[in-house]
Structure 1
């Protein structure tokens, strides 16, 4: 009788130990996924690997990964026309957002509806003109 009680107790201890390590593995994988999503240069393959690792470690294969919003994206300047690249211009993009140029450059580019790279999190806009990239600091108005 004592032998069977010891076997049950040992099995219970092994089960509890495995649950504790499972919880640690799940927490580690979740932390890894969060870090990969919020990195400065999120790589889609890296995020997918971290997501799959988290699914395996936590045992929740039915949930869908949350997609991170892109840090920068292409958009077109609608107003002003022409875009000059001078200080404190109010800029409206085709996504409806309105920004003010805070970089105090006087470029006089005369660009008509140029395509630019907008990085809202950094408050930057990058305009490629020939072989030159112009970086503008922006402040969002709307």
Structure 2
């Protein structure tokens, strides 16, 4: 992960993490909060709370688990898709090997679909690339 002192000036990102596993959530929060271009990270562990927080606005990145304590990530994605808010939607799941989930998430507006057990670094890579594209003037 880049050192804050050596990172170009990126517009700060607000990240919404929707994850019900406390262990995984804490690990992701630690990494995300250390990213120099992440201004704030909020989290939810249910579908309802995730949708409510997203509706309050201001998030450029959403990281969404499929199976939540209450509800599911696909419904969260659909709500985000209906809102047509800019930003990226990353699904981070233990069910990445199920083609039907991948298709369902893509149809619901997911930009990325990663395996929790194998692709954590990919999550951070796409967030960094997104931050860089915003610094270059890409409004999405």
TM interval, shorter chain, is: under 0.3
With CA pairs under 8 Å and 6+ residues apart, which has the higher RCO, 1 or 2?
A: 2
Q: Which has the higher strand share?
A: 1
Q: TM-score, normalised by structure 2?
A: 0.21
The structure with the largest alpha-carbon Rg is 1
Q: Which has the higher helix share?
A: 2
Q: TM-score, normalised by structure 1?
A: 0.20
